[in-house]
Structure 1
Amino acid sequence: MPTQSRLIQLMDTTLRDGEQTQGVSYSPDEKLNIAKALLQSLGVDRIEVASARVSDGEKQGVKRINQWAREEGFDGRVEVLGFVDHTLSVDWILESGGSVINLLTKGSEKHCRDQLGKTLQQHIDDILKTVDYALGKGLTVNVYLEDWSNGYRDNRNYVFDLMDSLQRTGISHFMLPDTLGVMSPDEVFDSLSDMSNRYPELNFDFHPHNDYGLATANVMAAVRAGINSIHCTVNCLGERAGNASLAQVCVVLRDKMNMELSIDESHLVRTSNIVENFSGKRVAANTPIIGTDVFTQTAGIHADGDQKGGLYKSKLVPERFSRIHSYALGKMSGKASLKKNLELLELDLTEENQKKVLARIVKLGDSKQTITTDDLPFIIADVLESKNYQHIKLLNCSITSGFDLESTVSIRVDVKGDQHIASGCGNGGFDAFIDAINKVMKLHDYTLPALVDYEVRIPKGGHTSALTECVITWDCDNKSRKTRGVHSNQVFAAILAALRIINIQLHGKRQLKYTF
């Protein structure tokens, strides 16, 4: 039975729980900019930005966020984790300009007994003192029941006794964490349904972790159980396997459960990029919604299906997230993939030239995983310029280079049906190749023309894996002649350009009935 549509609040804890990711530590400036992106651009309902009493630097960062939030109308939506320490955490939050404390209590008997060394009643007495002090100072108080998932499983009477003692104390949200990410969707639904039915007047949050890869599925189960506030992080940051991904939670709740959210999806990728840069934790290219490759079709049959009627499209259209659909070029490409990229570049090729370009793409794809739209003009120019002269063919080539060492090359080439093996050395791989090829061509009474200019470039905005275009200008009997080579390795791009001038000149000699 479908869940009735309702408003779900998202509380993002990238700046607090997300900072528990190994190796992640934000500067105050970084925290402020992430907070702005979350509240102002993305539109999350609440953010948790720090743990109290961590450091003076942390306090200054929280103070800047709170000041900005008040000025921009986000007061009350910035929260700080505090501890059961009576006045200490509360005073720290007040001094930083905060108005909300998320009090960390023990939601399992084991944590209370073994970590605190206290009975439940002793722990409750300490909690009530801190809650009373915080409320008296004007703070909004939320309470985490740390390790609640294990606590509910092992001794739910402990959880119920704790809840019974706190339910009428003025606490705004009771936040139920699956601290170690141990729950399944069925367990989440059953336990949260029980909590909601026992305490129907209380506001519960669900705080999932992703240790079993079930965080998003568990969010769905929590919402089905009636929970209206969900915790998540940008890019799934968090301790161990991380927390629930904000992007995935947002899209799944909207598309699969018809829930209402405040999130502006067009800012999901931008916010992800900001957090990726500041955290130093890279997002996998195939990460749902935000990964660089998730709106790229690779197989030619998929491009063909999209062209003929959007057969491989779903609700997850890239425009929804301020992105565009792309069609990767490689050995899996077909005519439709090439056509989509030509349309994007506003280029038009004959059927014959399309076949030639596609054949070159497939060949390059055997050695290079994908070819971008930015690479395509290089390939087209290379194909259209080339003639099928095969007077000389490079069969094998091995280049060895080292820092402060002379480069060496070994080649095997076919010249008019005769195979030759040669080696060369020089100042760099290309120079070594020229030394070797000259030894071979000397046997055929041919010498390479003088090199006048040598230009190497990659596509604008290209990546380190981009194709390289090498254009060499040669002095051919006092006339300049340019040849081009395209390859993912810049030395081999230059080698292909050199082979092309040899083929051109040998072909000319053949037409003049030159015998070599």
Structure 2
Amino acid sequence: MPNSKRHIEIMDTTLRDGEQTSGVSFSASEKLTIAQLLLTEVKVDRIEIASARVSEGEFLAVKKITSWAAANGFIDKVEVLTFVDGETSINWMVEAGAKVMNLLTKGSLNHLTHQLKKTPQQHFDEIAAVIALANSKGITCNVYLEDWSNGMRNSKDYVFQYLDFLTQQPVKRILLPDTLGVLIPSEVSEFISEIVNRYPNKHFDFHGHNDYDLGTANVLAAVKAGIHGLHLTVNGMGERAGNASLSSTVAVLNDFVKNVKTSVVEKSLYSVSKLVETFSGFRVSPNQPIVGENVFTQTAGIHADGDKKNNLYFNDLMPERFGRQRKYALGKTSGKANIENNLQQLGIQLSDDDLKKVTQRIIELGDRKEMVTQADLPYIISDILDSNTIEEKVLIENYVLTHSKDLRPSVTLKISINNEIFEEHAQGDGQYDAFVNALQKIYKLKKLELPLLTDYTVRIPPGGKSDALCETIITWLHNGKEFKTRGLDSDQTVAAIKATQKMLNII
């Protein structure tokens, strides 16, 4: 049975419109890398990579991309924004090796009258001359109607006068931008339906901005109204509030518009998002749909429990579609199910009693607003299992650590030894050194000798991404034998104190 789905062309404009994000500028090599990934891995239909005449650096970037594209069969998929400036933009295109131009023209009478101060006919005549010249140089021409959305709202007669003229020109695509991001979905649907019905044999693209957070909703309305192509950006980058997002749009079309298809590979959307984030320095919000770090993370324990019982909290946005994995957050709202899911991914099994202790420790850390990750779990488990084997006859009941400018660190320490309470104060070269000095005073009173500290190591879980835990490992020498104790806490000194309490109970 033949595939009857209508193909929607996806034109990615991250390298042109997306680069207008405040503070973002890609190098020539970065532009080439992103262009290659978009065309070969993400498999968008087209990319818009630059504006003509902007700078020497932009020219070199375009030459790099067109040289690679020509050698690999992608040159017709690489587009450059040009202007109605006689031969200037076209000559720039020829020198840069580009073959497709997107000509910026006026799509509203307001822009035409007040910015260009020209009549429609004057504008049309200049556009016709540029299109003819481009074609004579072997350049394919698409045309932007800048401010088209306001044109349809406030000067529709002008827009249709222009389209009547433009549809008679040797133009491949007509590009309809909501330049200021002002449209709502019902207007997008109305305006595009009217245009595609009036010109059924022409190709129209919709270029949506996100000023009212309606970018994805508007592109969905455009597709349902019959648009042939969409302009999108990685991570929704773009001027002001950005452009319609590539990842969100592709997911919405795949899930909610059954009679259309795109060429985009969903599994590549996350990798290109991370690459663009790295090159641009433009950080993706953790809760940004599809590509945000937290969007496939369940936090509430009840949700994790429901996932174990027939995937009750799953929807169609399965992380595997986008090359990602579902995670179960660890914090004060974690239940046993959250922790069990994480342990299962690590291949660890615990008894019910130990699982309760681990859960309680994670809740305690969450109450202190510490972030616990899966990488922390083996450390927490090790600390709890280690503590289970030690009978606690010595308890560090309380302590005050002080660190002041131009004063030596000091500690006031209160401990219990076989239910007998001792309190001492001492100074030292650091807070832990002061703690040990206070402890030695107490043990001298008891005529007891402390082991010799021979090594002191601090580490965090692999990757160093956790702000919740560090592990202090202290090596002691006692009666000619060495042994190690470990302490776990978000504070290095407190972790060392916990390791020391374990030592006191062992000896």
TM-score by length of 2: 0.93
How far off is 1:119 after superposition?
2.2
How far off is 1:464 after superposition?
5.0
Distance 1:487 1:127, change over 3 A: same
How far off is 1:286 after superposition?
1.4
Identity of aligned residues (%): 50
Counterpart of 2:361 in 1: which secondary structure? helix
CA distance in 2, matches of 1:376, 1:308: 23
Q: Which amino acid aligns with 1:33?
A: T
Equivalences, count? 499
Q: In the alignment, what sits opposite 1:483?
A: 485
Distance 1:409 1:6, change over 3 A: farther
Report Cα offsets for 1:122-147 as digits up to 9, x if no partner: 22222111111111111110111111
Counterpart of 2:32 in 1: which secondary structure? helix
Distance 1:473 1:183, change over 3 A: same
Q: Is the contact made by 2:413 and 2:439 (CA closer than 8 Å) also made in structure 1?
A: no
Q: In the alignment, what sits opposite 1:511?
A: none
Distance 1:411 1:124, change over 3 A: farther
How far off is 1:503 after superposition?
4.0
How far off is 1:436 after superposition?
4.8
Counterpart of 1:451 in 2: which secondary structure? strand
Q: Is the contact made by 1:219 and 1:249 (CA closer than 8 Å) also made in structure 2?
A: yes
Q: In the alignment, what sits opposite 1:344?
A: 345
Counterpart of 1:168 in 2: which secondary structure? coil
> Greater CA deviation, 286-295 or 492-501?
492-501
CA distance in 2, matches of 1:411, 1:121: 88
CA distance in 2, matches of 1:214, 1:237: 14
Distance 1:481 1:99, change over 3 A: same
Report Cα offsets for 1:221-241 as digits up to 9, x if no partner: 111111120110001110011
Report Cα offsets for 1:401-421 as digits up to 9, x if no partner: 77xx66635556453474857
Q: Is the contact made by 1:189 and 1:224 (CA closer than 8 Å) also made in structure 2?
A: yes
Q: Is the contact made by 1:374 and 1:462 (CA closer than 8 Å) also made in structure 2?
A: no
CA distance in 2, matches of 1:499, 1:233: 56
1:246-261 to structure 2, matched below 5 A, reads 246-258=246-258, 259-261=260-262
Q: In the alignment, what sits opposite 2:469?
A: 467
Q: In the alignment, what sits opposite 1:301?
A: 302
Q: In the alignment, what sits opposite 1:191?
A: 191
Report Cα offsets for 1:493-516 as digits up to 9, x if no partner: 2222123323444xxxxxxxxxxx
How far off is 1:466 after superposition?
5.1
CA distance in 2, matches of 1:91, 1:491: 67
Q: Is the contact made by 2:301 and 2:334 (CA closer than 8 Å) also made in structure 1?
A: yes
Q: Is the contact made by 1:38 and 1:271 (CA closer than 8 Å) also made in structure 2?
A: yes
- Name stretches of at least 5 consecutive residues in structure 1 with no aligned partner: 506-516
Q: Which amino acid aligns with 1:357?
A: V
The answer to whether the aligner puts 1:214 opposite 2:217 as a matched pair is: no
1:99-498 to structure 2, matched below 5 A, reads 99-258=99-258, 259-386=260-387, 387=390, 389=392, 391-395=394-398, 397-398=400-401, 400=403, 408-411=409-412, 413-415=414-416, 416=419, 418=421, 420=423, 422=425, 424-427=427-430, 429-438=431-440, 448-465=450-467, 467-498=469-500
CA distance in 2, matches of 1:314, 1:349: 30
Distance 1:51 1:493, change over 3 A: same
Report Cα offsets for 1:146-194 as digits up to 9, x if no partner: 1111121121112112212211111111111111111111111111112
Q: Is the contact made by 2:410 and 2:427 (CA closer than 8 Å) also made in structure 1?
A: yes
Distance 1:434 1:121, change over 3 A: farther
Q: Which amino acid aligns with 1:339?
A: E
Counterpart of 1:375 in 2: which secondary structure? helix
Q: Is the contact made by 1:368 and 1:488 (CA closer than 8 Å) also made in structure 2?
A: no
- Name stretches of at least 5 consecutive residues in structure 2 with no aligned partner: none
Give the aligned CA root-mean-square deviation in angstroms: 2.2
Distance 1:6 1:396, change over 3 A: farther
CA distance in 2, matches of 1:176, 1:388: 75
Q: Which amino acid aligns with 1:325?
A: R
How far off is 1:321 after superposition?
1.3
CA distance in 1, matches of 2:445, 2:111: 84
Counterpart of 1:474 in 2: which secondary structure? strand
Q: Which amino acid aligns with 2:103?
A: L
Distance 1:86 1:374, change over 3 A: same
Q: Which amino acid aligns with 1:338?
A: I
How far off is 1:462 after superposition?
3.0
How far off is 1:488 after superposition?
2.3
